[in-house]
Structure 1
């Protein structure tokens, strides 16, 4: 029942945060925030040892964190735009 221990989720979150520093691109940062949030919820007693529920909370928290990061640090002015259709259509 290692997945039900709060500090395992927090350590995994920090590990993913370190991986984000090594491989930047806002890919692992959302997962890191989701893992730390899941660990915090376990620590507060809001979640039990139910693995499917923990994974669902982790996935939802990661998706929410990614959406917020995308909103805050999204496409910058002057960034290359990708075209979906031909200009002559």
Structure 2
């Protein structure tokens, strides 16, 4: 059995990506982390695990959808960006 066919490998990868998200915040790795954990769960219950291209496709789709949902729910808020209307060096 190949390493990518084992659910615990995907879950560990998700945990590592989650730790990276804590070190580098900004929703960069969080979607990938959740996607990896979901793929690991799907392999454990027997839905995935035989074809690498299908497993990677499911991982990519789940990661992008998760990232988009997180961006919509927790993303940029109105008024979060600061717009400067004058220069600090102007008198």
Normalising by the residue count of structure 1, what TM-score does the alignment of the two structures yield? Answer: 0.87
Question: Equivalent residue for 1:38?
Answer: 39
Structure of higher CA gyration radius:
2
Q: CA deviation at 1:80?
A: 1.8
Question: Equivalent residue for 2:27?
Answer: 26
Question: Equivalent residue for 2:56?
Answer: 55
Q: SS at 2:48's partner residue?
A: coil
- How far, CA to CA, are the matches of 1:15 and 1:8 in structure 2? 11
Q: Do structure 1's residue 78 and structure 2's residue 79 form an aligned pair?
A: yes
- How far, CA to CA, are the matches of 2:68 and 2:79 in structure 1? 21
Q: Which of 66-75 and 15-24 deviates more?
A: 66-75
> RMSD value over aligned CA atoms?
1.4
Give 5+ residue unaligned stretches, structure 2.
Answer: 84-91
Q: Are the counterparts in 1 of residues 36 and 59 from structure 2 also a CA contact under 8 Å?
A: yes
Give 5+ residue unaligned stretches, structure 1.
Answer: 83-89
Q: CA deviation at 1:78?
A: 1.4
Q: CA deviation at 1:74?
A: 1.7
Q: How many residue pairs are counted as aligned between the two chains?
A: 82
Deviation beyond 6 Å, 4+ runs, structure 1? none
Q: Do structure 1's residue 16 and structure 2's residue 17 form an aligned pair?
A: yes
Normalising by the residue count of structure 2, what TM-score does the alignment of the two structures yield? Answer: 0.85
